[in-house]
Amino acid sequence: MEFKKIKPAKIYEQVANEIIEMIQKGELKPGDKLDPVPLLAEKFSVGRSAIREALMSLRALGYIELKQGEGTFVRNFDASGITYPISQAVLMDKEDVTHLLEVRKILEAGIAAMAAEKRTSSDLEEMHQALKEMKNATGNEELGEQADLDFHLALVRATRNPLLAQLMNQVSDTLVKAMKETRRILLFSNPSTFGALFEQHALILREIETRNPEKARHAMLSHLQFVEKNLEDYLV
């Protein structure tokens, strides 16, 4: 019989588990505000990136919440609802995000160009509907993220290529599952960032609507570079 080797816990996992223990012991109570990242890094004697990853994990697990302009606070939580370990709350570091977005840029730039050539009026209706839902989702991160995904999936359906559709589904699913709500927080909770995302999608749609493959390709690349910069800046 072969036994699986036990890997040591990553630093951010140790930090997150320590904070969870403090919450469970009552040392940190619902409503308490956590220290800022630099101070937490000093107290735990770890790097700031480890603190950021730990906080992202705890947000994904529902232990803490981020209030824009105020800070990070301990939430009321139902312990019975926590069914997965800290190590699964955030699986992607900066290098992982870069690799995944490289795949998206190669894949989706081509998808946008092909969609511009093959799209039908029905495809355009789907894209317009997704864009309308995105605009109406202002202030709702979950709905905004879903509308974003619906738009990209409508593009790949317009290529009439089932293999591309399958690949796109896999890449999108990996991104959403691996980053969980971190992507929502970074891209869809900030009004200015959300507004930029909407305008980028509207431009992609205009180029597809006018059947301009190269401009559609360029618009998609610009959009994904914007996404990459926002995610990587946080994961430095």
What value does the mean pLDDT of the chain take? 82
Asked which of 38-42, 171-175, 199-203, 232-236 is least confident by mean pLDDT, the reply is: 232-236
Give pLDDT, residue 11.
86
- Residue 202: pLDDT above 70? yes
| Pairwise CA distance, residues 121 & 69, whole Å | 43
Whether domain 11-88 has CATH 1.10.10.1100: the reply is no
Token duo for residue 232: 């990587």
Give 144-150 contacts, CB < 8 A, sequence gap 24+: 144/184, 144/187, 144/188, 144/194, 144/197, 145/176, 145/183, 145/184, 145/187, 145/188, 148/188, 148/197, 148/201, 149/176, 150/126
Taking the whole predicted model, whether its pTM rises above 0.95 is answered as no
pLDDT in tens, 36-74: 999 999 999 999 888 988 887 787 677 888 887 788 999
* CATH number of the 94-235 domain: 1.20.120.530
Parse the chain into domains and list their residue ranges: 11-88, 94-235
